[in-house]
């Protein structure tokens, strides 16, 4: 019996809300697609997952596998699975996020986002910090093939992406472990984050570790710099995007300003993927980043963009900021990406480098937004460490992103 047959049987049933239906069915191991269903992860389907990992389109909407158990049959070619299907209604979208705007991002834009993030990070890294930091980066800032080396911004973004691809949500305990496992001083982690990750690596729980280092939570830009993959994965569900961005942030950056900074980058990437008008983006930025400092800077940046004024770099650095805190760098990155959205990546990075300060992180955040809007075509020829890996992660995020809502 093929799973496609089950699909056609199910679609003819009129299931009431909350009615569970128990199926007993064998299916071939190699089956990935059948009928109108898409099995996002064959491994999770066969692997006794308790998570609702597979979406299943029926005539009246979506159903999720909410429970699944499987056992190998003696023949070995097929398995017997017990599926419990029940009605699952996707959360409604908020605001004016109408459905037709949720479906038009391309895999090229996903690759552009991840490549832009890594390139902004790697190109900006040699210009960050004082004389000692710059001299050190001259020594370790290239990999074996002489491509620019990325820093903690890209490493932590890849960590977030890997956890999303594996667990389909931000599992905070797992993400804390992955962050700690990936830590390497040579990636240029901020001192506070480095101390937290060392504590986690030594066995201290992340909730305890963050309090030991920052009593009230860090408001550095370390959460914002890694939030783009969350936006990519939850592109089709804005409420989950907001919730999971907060979860990814608070492991190391639990101060409200850091979380607002992370949300701002997620929202900016979300709109860059849709190539939509800016007014809606600015409105949601103000709604989700409601602290006075963010509101003031978002308002200023919006005014500059709307008036098409070419604000001098000194004024941008002084007014919006170029520092390591979320409130002194996130709006700067969004402003730079928006201002240079129709220009080349190089022009945008030239402007960001001219601002000085935390160049690699502002470059990473702006690069992710710029790449999400413009795609990867013009970024392909730029050398970067582990380009193939970066592109593969972007493709996986595209293929395995949360399924859209059709209800």
| Segment near Mg ion (CB under 5 A); pick from 165-173, 327-335, 348-356, 360-368 | 360-368
Binding-site member from 141, 148, 188, 261 for Mg ion (CB under 5 A): 188
| Segment near Mg ion (CB under 5 A); pick from 11-19, 47-55, 86-94, 144-152 | 144-152
Total residues binding Mg ion (CB under 5 A): 5
Please state the closest distance from residue 328 (CB atom) to Mg ion, in A.
15
Please state the closest distance from residue 359 (CB atom) to Mg ion, in A.
9
Binding-site member from 111, 151, 154, 221 for Mg ion (CB under 5 A): 151
| Segment near Mg ion (CB under 5 A); pick from 26-34, 71-79, 234-242, 359-367 | 359-367
Please state the closest distance from residue 360 (CB atom) to Mg ion, in A.
4
- Taking the least distance from each CB to Mg ion, the nearer of 117 and 264 is 117
Please state the closest distance from residue 369 (CB atom) to Mg ion, in A.
17
Backbone angles phi, psi at 204, to 5 degrees: -75, 135
Binding-site member from 116, 118, 120, 152 for Mg ion (CB under 5 A): 152
Binding-site member from 153, 169, 250, 385 for Mg ion (CB under 5 A): 153
Contact 294, 260 (CB under 8 A): yes
- Taking the least distance from each CB to Mg ion, the nearer of 261 and 375 is 261
- Taking the least distance from each CB to Mg ion, the nearer of 362 and 405 is 362
Q: Which two tokens stand for residue 378?
A: 């013009």
Residues 6+ apart with CB under 8 A from 121: 150, 151, 153, 154, 225, 360, 361, 363, 364, 367
How far apart CA 228 and CA 210 sit, in angstroms, is 22
Binding-site member from 169, 237, 244, 360 for Mg ion (CB under 5 A): 360
Q: How far is CA 325 from CA 66, 83, 257, 285, 309, in A?
A: 41, 48, 9, 17, 26
Q: Which two tokens stand for residue 29?
A: 């191991």
Nearest residue by C-beta to Mg ion?
151
196 binds Mg ion (CB under 5 A): no
- Taking the least distance from each CB to Mg ion, the nearer of 152 and 244 is 152
Contact residues: Mg ion, CB under 5 A: 151-153, 188, 360
């Amino acid at each position: 019996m093929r799973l496609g047959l089950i699909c056609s049987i199910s679609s003819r049933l009129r299931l009431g809300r909350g009615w569970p239906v128990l199926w007993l069915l064998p299916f071939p191991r190699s089956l990935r697609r059948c009928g109108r269903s898409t099995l996002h992860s064959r491994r999770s389907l066969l692997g006794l997952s308790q998570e609702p990992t597979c979406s299943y389109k029926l005539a009246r909407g979506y159903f999720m596998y909410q429970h699944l158990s499987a056992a190998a049959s003696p023949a070995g070619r097929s398995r017997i699975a017990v599926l419990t299907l029940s009605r699952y209604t996707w959360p409604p979208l908020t605001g004016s996020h109408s459905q037709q705007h949720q479906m038009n991002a391309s895999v090229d834009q996903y690759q552009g986002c991840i490549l832009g993030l890594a390139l902004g990070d790697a190109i900006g890294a040699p210009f960050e910090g004082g004389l000692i930091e710059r001299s050190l980066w001259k020594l370790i800032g290239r990999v074996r093939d002489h491509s620019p080396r990325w820093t903690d911004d890209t490493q932590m973004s890849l960590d977030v992406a890997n956890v999303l691809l594996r667990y389909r949500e931000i599992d905070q305990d797992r993400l804390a472990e992955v962050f700690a496992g990936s830590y390497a001083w040579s990636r240029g982690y901020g001192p506070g984050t480095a101390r937290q990750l060392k504590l986690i690596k030594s066995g201290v729980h992340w909730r305890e570790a963050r309090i030991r280092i920052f009593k009230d939570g860090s408001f550095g830009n370390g959460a914002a710099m890694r939030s783009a993959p969350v936006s990519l994965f939850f592109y089709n569900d804005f409420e989950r995007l907001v919730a999971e961005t907060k979860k990814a942030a608070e492991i190391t950056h639990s101060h409200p300003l850091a979380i607002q900074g992370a949300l701002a980058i997620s929202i900016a990437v979300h709109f860059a993927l849709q190539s939509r008008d800016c007014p809606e983006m600015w409105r949601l930025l103000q709604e989700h980043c409601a602290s006075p400092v963010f509101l003031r800077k978002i308002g200023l940046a919006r005014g500059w963009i709307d008036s098409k004024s070419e604000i001098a770099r000194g004024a941008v650095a002084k007014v919006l900021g170029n520092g390591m805190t979320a409130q002194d760098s996130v709006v700067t990155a969004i402003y730079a990406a928006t201002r240079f959205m129709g220009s080349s990546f190089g022009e945008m990075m030239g402007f960001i480098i001219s601002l000085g300060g935390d160049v690699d992180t502002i470059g990473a955040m702006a690069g992710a937004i710029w790449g999400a809007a413009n795609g990867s075509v013009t970024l392909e020829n730029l050398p970067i460490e582990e380009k193939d890996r970066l592109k593969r992660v972007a493709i996986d995020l595209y293929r395995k992103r949360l399924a859209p809502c059709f209800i």
